[in-house]
Amino acid sequence: MSLDSVRVALVTRMNGWTDAPVVWDGHRVPTAVEMAQAARTPWCRASIAQGDRAHATQSGTIRSAGLLFVQVFTDDGIGPKDARDLADSLAAHLDGHITGALVLRAAHMRDNLPGEAVTGPSDGWYQINVTVPWREYV
């Protein structure tokens, strides 16, 4: 699998989750996300980071790793419960999913990351970050 194949597999998996529209970093904002933002309904932003590559075994198998980042946004006026419920739904959709050589690990959900910018309420949106480590063996 190439990084583009990993991207296609992750986008395909995310497309199967219909709880909120998603915009991918570096892509044009879909109409569904624009409409959600205007209506103050939930929406998400996603990006993929490639990590390290290493020999996984002496047989020559290469392991690539990376992270899928998804920022979940809900209207701040309704409190954090809806954002947490949406993040839980996304985590359940992604946790442990396997597509060919791609394996998604357990999702991590955070609304406050130590040592980083505080998520949570900002500009009228409540934000929770969902991070899913992935591994690929070829």
Q: Give the pLDDT score at 31.
A: 96
Tokens standing for residue 42? 């939930």
Run means of pLDDT, 10 residues per run, the chain, 138 residues: 81 94 93 95 92 63 83 85 92 93 89 52 81 86
pTM to 2 decimals? 0.84
The answer for 27, left when phi > 0, alpha when psi is -120 to 50, beta otherwise, is beta
Third-level CATH fold of 3-137:
STM4215-like (3.30.2000)
Q: Where are the beta strands (DSSP E) in the chain?
A: 22-24, 43-55, 62-75, 98-99, 102-104, 108-110, 120-122, 125-137
Q: Write out the DSSP string of 30-68.
A: PHHHHHHHHHT--EEEEEEEEEEEEE-STT--EEEEEEE
Q: Give the pLDDT score at 69.
A: 94
